[in-house]
A and B are shown apart, each in its own frame.
Chain A
Amino acid sequence: MAEATRAIEAVWRIESARLIAGLARMVRDVGLAEDMAQDALVAALEKWPESGVPENPGAWLMATAKNRAIDRMRREKTYERKREEVAHDTGLLFALERSDFEAAADDEIGDDLLALIFTCCHPLLSREARVALTLRLLGGLTTAEIARAFLVGESTVAQRLVRAKKTLREARVPFEVPRGAELDERLPSVLEVIYLVFNEGYAASAGEDWVRTDLCEEALRLGRILVELAPREPEVHGLVALMEIQASRLRARRGPSGEPILLLEQNRGHWDPLLIVRGRRALERAEALPKPIGPYGLQAAIAACHAAAIRAEETDWVRIAALYETLAEIQPSPIVELNRAVALGMAFGPEPGLALIAEIEDDPALAGNHLLPSVRADLLEKAGRDEEAAAEFQRAAELTENTRERRLLIKRAERLLAS
């Protein structure tokens, strides 16, 4: 029995996003569509253990969801209800009865899925709500699974979901794929949600936290789905490329006691070559498109430079510095400049790196950030200015909140002063 339930849940995970998307196209309300889909799941859990999984489970679920909704609305019509409610349901009934899901062509199903993604990531919703709704409706994750993945309470997630669906309903957000300029405007929100899911898993994916590695896989899966649905958008390929290459390092980025290992010190033999190849291919597809690549594509290109170096010393820092320069032009940020300073230091020696640091040191966004003094210390040390470097390492040590990192910074300061 438990085995049958697990098998049904697996089918559900495969079918639910397309099911909800197809239903949402008919009823123009993702919340209602989800309820209808859930109804069909309940029916499947009742029937399938005895009858077996039908030949075409997707079509079965769709037909059941529709029929149950139609039955319910017809039944409720006879009760005493407000006129506008009945009118609303009559409209829905009409939409459901004339819809013919099985006749829907492949690209229509794709369009529905894409519309569902854009609706879940609508800018009206808070970032947390977008993430929760996307994982729920597109990932088929349960509320409990989302809560576990983000280390928050189940009721918090449940509330977020209810509120998000209500917001969409009340604002009458149309269920459609934005076109033209609106697409360009709204795509970043979708990509941000997927990358947030990835980073939530990536930032904390220690060995025992299998749930969080799952989150990386889920983000990759969503990205790969999106690539198939929007193949002309270079940033979608760029994001997938970035995630594939970053995920290739998952096995290499923690030491035996769980301590993070910096990129340049990782054992490159532990990087996953399959994901690197996949990432590089995604990047090539992004670069082959007429639209120019954006911030995700550029970050992927930087990641690909690291991946191409068999040993850390072989890294093409000149190219990385140039890529950071382009990235800083299209998405100005002091953190990007800081990374560019590191790359300049590696490519051309400490002076150009220090010059760039001098330009950004007063940026309020970097105030209190330990990375600024830590990068400067590194460059000063390379320039042979040991005393200044030690002072900067000290300053960085005072600013960091990570104990392990603080110890490392203090050690570097002491070593410089002793020599």
Chain B
Amino acid sequence: MRFMMLMYPQIEETEWEPKGEAFEAMGRYNDELQKAGMLLSLDGLRPPGEGASVSFDDEGKATVTDGPFAETKEVVGGYWLIQARSKEEALEWASRVPGESCRVEVRQIFELEDFPQEIQDAYRGS
């Protein structure tokens, strides 16, 4: 099974880039994941203010809004994609993230087998 661990740093955008010690600690953690054969991919995201968002209305019309955004909702700062043998194992790895003032959300990735049989059949037949 695969899990996405989403990092939500609860900090101001001006402090977005991790420095010195925090950067090193995260590097060590990523090494551990890699050595354990769990890590499939990972990335850190540039601050939300540099980004933009595309929203769709109820007719599916797209509107682009550039950052920075007025509302300071929780935003994703980065992610790890890992292979784990159970949700508990993924949660244990998430608990080992060297984080401060942040939240790590663990979400399982859909597998083909999770979908209803007719969707699976259609996929396999295509």
Q: Mark B88-126, 1 if CB is under 8 A from A, else 0.
A: 110111010000000000000000110000001101111
Give the CA-CA distance A267 to B113 in the complex, in Å: 18
Within the complex, the shortest CB–CB distance from B103 to chain A, in Å, comes to: 19
Instruction: Report B28-47 residues with CB < 8 Å from chain A CB.
Output: 34-38, 40-41
Interface residues on chain B, number (Cβ under 8 Å): 26
Query: With A254-B124, A267-B126 in contact, do A10 and B86 touch (Cβ < 8 Å)?
Result: yes
Within the complex, the shortest CB–CB distance from A277 to chain B, in Å, comes to: 9
A9, A10, A207: the one contacting B113 at CB < 8 Å is A207
Specify which of B1, B37, B91 lies most central, judged by the most chain A CB atoms within 10 Å of its CB.
Answer: B37
Specify which of A223, A224, A270 lies most central, judged by the most chain B CB atoms within 10 Å of its CB.
Answer: A224
Q: Mark A206-228, 1 if CB is under 8 A from B, else 0.
A: 01101000100110111111001
Residues of B close to A254: CB separation below 8 A: 124
Q: Does A180 belong to the interface (CB within 8 Å)?
A: no
Residues of B close to A270: CB separation below 8 A: 123
Residues of B close to A13: CB separation below 8 A: 85-86, 89
Q: Does A14 belong to the interface (CB within 8 Å)?
A: yes
Give the CA-CA distance A14 to B125 in the complex, in Å: 38
Q: Does A290 belong to the interface (CB within 8 Å)?
A: no
Q: Are A256 and B124 in contact (CB under 8 A)?
A: yes
Q: Are A10 and B112 in contact (CB under 8 A)?
A: no
Q: Are A14 and B89 in contact (CB under 8 A)?
A: yes
Instruction: Report A38-83 residues with CB < 8 Å from chain B CB.
Output: 53
Query: With A6-B88, A225-B37 in contact, do A217 and B83 touch (Cβ < 8 Å)?
Result: yes
Q: Does A251 belong to the interface (CB within 8 Å)?
A: yes
Q: Does A11 belong to the interface (CB within 8 Å)?
A: yes
Q: Are B37 and A214 in contact (CB under 8 A)?
A: no
Q: Are B37 and A220 in contact (CB under 8 A)?
A: yes
Q: Are B37 and A14 in contact (CB under 8 A)?
A: no
A214, A221, A255, A274: the one contacting B125 at CB < 8 Å is A255
Within the complex, the shortest CB–CB distance from A54 to chain B, in Å, comes to: 12
Interface residues on chain A, number (Cβ under 8 Å): 30
Residues of B close to A6: CB separation below 8 A: 86, 88
Residues of B close to A11: CB separation below 8 A: 92
Within the complex, the shortest CB–CB distance from A222 to chain B, in Å, comes to: 7
B37, B41, B92, B120: the one contacting A10 at CB < 8 Å is B92
Query: With A7-B92, A220-B83, A254-B124 in contact, do A207 and B36 touch (Cβ < 8 Å)?
Result: no
Select from chain A the residue with minimum beta-carbon distance to B113: A207
A positions within 8 Å CB-CB of B: 6-7, 9-11, 13-14, 53, 110, 207-208, 210, 214, 217-218, 220-225, 228, 251, 254-256, 267, 270, 274, 278
Q: Are A14 and B41 in contact (CB under 8 A)?
A: no
Specify which of A53, A228, A278 lies most central, judged by the most chain B CB atoms within 10 Å of its CB.
Answer: A228
Select from chain A the residue with minimum beta-carbon distance to B41: A274
A-B contact pairs, 11 of them (CB 8 A): A6-B86, A14-B36, A110-B35, A207-B113, A207-B120, A210-B113, A218-B85, A221-B38, A228-B35, A251-B123, A255-B124
Residues of A close to B126: CB separation below 8 A: 267
Residues of A close to B1: CB separation below 8 A: 217
Within the complex, the shortest CB–CB distance from B89 to chain A, in Å, comes to: 4
Residues of B close to A222: CB separation below 8 A: 37
Q: Are A274 and B34 in contact (CB under 8 A)?
A: no
Within the complex, the shortest CB–CB distance from A210 to chain B, in Å, comes to: 7
Q: Are A214 and B85 in contact (CB under 8 A)?
A: yes
Select from chain B the residue with minimum beta-carbon distance to A218: B85
Give the CA-CA distance A225 to B89 in the complex, in Å: 17
Give the CA-CA distance A14 to B94 in the complex, in Å: 13
Q: Are B83 and A221 in contact (CB under 8 A)?
A: yes
Residues of A close to B36: CB separation below 8 A: 14, 221, 225
Residues of A close to B88: CB separation below 8 A: 6-7, 9-10
Within the complex, the shortest CB–CB distance from B46 to chain A, in Å, comes to: 22
Give the CA-CA distance A217 to B85 in the complex, in Å: 9
Q: 7 closest pairs, A vs B, by CB?
A: A10-B88, A224-B37, A221-B37, A10-B89, A256-B121, A225-B37, A256-B124
